[in-house]
Chain A
Amino acid sequence: MSVQVITGNHAAGYALSVAGEANRTARGVACGIYPITPQTEIVEYVAKFPFSKGRVVPVESEHSAMAVSMGASASGARAFTASSANGLAYMAENIMVAGYYRLPIVMVAVNRTLGPPWNIWADQGDTLMLRDFAWLQFYCENNQEVLDTTLLAFRLAEDQRILMPVLVCMDAFIISHTQTETTLPEQTEVDRYLPDLDLPHRMRYDEARTLGGLAWPHEGLSQRLEIDEAMKRVPNVYQECRESFTETFGRDPGDVIQTFATDDAEIVLVASGTMATTAREVVRQRREAGEKVGLVKLKMFRPFPEAALREACQSATHMAVLDRNYAAGTGGIFWQDTRAAFHGHRDDVLIQNYLTGLCGGDVTPAVIDDILADITSRSALGDPVWMGIDTGEETKQ
Chain B
Amino acid sequence: MIATAPTNPRPDECLLRPGNTNCGGCGMSIGLTMLGRALTEAGDTCTLVIPACCGIVTAGAFPTTSYGVPTIATTFASSPAVATGVACIRDLNDEPGQVICWAGDGGTYDIGLATLSAAAERNENIIYICYDNEIYGNTGGQRSSATPAGARTTTTPWGKTQDKKDIMSIMAAHRIPYAATLSIAHPDDFARKITTALTTHGTRFLLLHSPCPTGWKSEPEDSVKLVRLAVASSLFPLYEVYDGATYRINVEPDGTDPAEYFQRQRRFKKEEIDLRATRRACSDRMQRLQALAERYPSDR
Interface segment, A149-157, A214-222, A289-297?
A214-222
Report the Cα distance A210→B1, complex, angstroms.
8
Instruction: Find residues 16-61 in chain A having any chain B CB closer than 8 Å to their own CB.
Output: 27-28, 30, 32, 53-55, 57, 59-61
Interface segment, A7-15, A71-79, A107-115?
A71-79
Interface segment, B58-66, B164-172, B184-192, B215-223?
B58-66
Report the Cα distance A82→B288, complex, angstroms.
46
Listed by A's residue number, 28 A-B pairs whose Cβ atoms lie within 8 Å are A27-B89, A27-B93, A30-B88, A32-B85, A55-B92, A60-B115, A61-B118, A63-B77, A63-B78, A63-B81, A64-B81, A65-B81, A70-B78, A71-B83, A71-B85, A72-B89, A75-B90, A97-B74, A207-B7, A208-B7, A208-B14, A208-B65, A209-B65, A210-B67, A211-B73, A213-B1, A215-B1, A220-B1
Q: Chain B residues with Cβ under 8 A from A32's Cβ?
A: 81, 84-85
Q: Once the chains bind, are B85 and A208 in contact (CB under 8 Å)?
A: no
Q: Chain A residues with Cβ under 8 A from B72's Cβ?
A: 71, 74, 203, 210-212
Which label, helix, strand, loop or mixed, suits the secondary structure of the B interface? mixed
Kindly state whether residue A223 has any CB partner on chain B within 8 Å: yes
Kindly state whether residue A204 has any CB partner on chain B within 8 Å: yes
CB distance from A23 to the nearest CB of B (A): 10
Which residues of A line the B interface, CB within 8 A?
27-28, 30, 32, 53-55, 57, 59-61, 63-65, 67-77, 79, 93-94, 97, 201, 203-216, 219-220, 223
CB distance from B291 to the nearest CB of A (A): 32
CB distance from B56 to the nearest CB of A (A): 7
Which label, helix, strand, loop or mixed, suits the secondary structure of the A interface? mixed
Q: Chain B residues with Cβ under 8 A from A219's Cβ?
A: 1, 61-63
CB distance from B6 to the nearest CB of A (A): 6
Known: A67-B78, A205-B70, A205-B96. A215 touches B85 (CB 8 A): no
Q: Once the chains bind, are A67 and B85 in contact (CB under 8 Å)?
A: yes
CB distance from A59 to the nearest CB of B (A): 6
Report the Cα distance A213→B49, complex, angstroms.
11
Q: Once the chains bind, are B86 and A72 in contact (CB under 8 Å)?
A: yes
Known: A59-B81, A74-B72, A208-B9. A64 touches B2 (CB 8 A): no
Q: Chain B residues with Cβ under 8 A from A28's Cβ?
A: 89, 92-93
Q: Once the chains bind, are B86 and A75 in contact (CB under 8 Å)?
A: yes
Report the Cα distance A94→B76, complex, angstroms.
10
Kindly state whether residue B82 has any CB partner on chain A within 8 Å: yes
Specify which of A93, A208, A215 is in contact with B4 (CB 8 Å cutoff): A208
Q: Once the chains bind, are A70 and B85 in contact (CB under 8 Å)?
A: yes
Q: Chain A residues with Cβ under 8 A from B59's Cβ?
A: 210, 213-214
Q: Once the chains bind, are B60 and A213 in contact (CB under 8 Å)?
A: yes
Instruction: Tell me the nearest residue of chain A to B11, going by C-beta.
Output: A208
Q: Once the chains bind, are A216 and B61 in contact (CB under 8 Å)?
A: yes
Report the Cα distance A74→B75, complex, angstroms.
14
Instruction: Tell me the nearest residue of chain B to A51, going by C-beta.
Output: B92
**Which of A54, A68, A207 lies at the interface centre, i.e. has the most chain B CB atoms within 10 A of its CB?**
A68
Q: Once the chains bind, are B89 and A210 in contact (CB under 8 Å)?
A: no
Q: Once the chains bind, are A71 and B114 in contact (CB under 8 Å)?
A: no
Q: Once the chains bind, are B82 and A71 in contact (CB under 8 Å)?
A: yes
Kindly state whether residue B199 has any CB partner on chain A within 8 Å: no
Q: Once the chains bind, are A213 and B62 in contact (CB under 8 Å)?
A: yes
Specify which of B2, B88, B93 is in contact with A71 (CB 8 Å cutoff): B88
**Which of A27, A53, A59, A209 lies at the interface centre, i.e. has the most chain B CB atoms within 10 A of its CB?**
A209
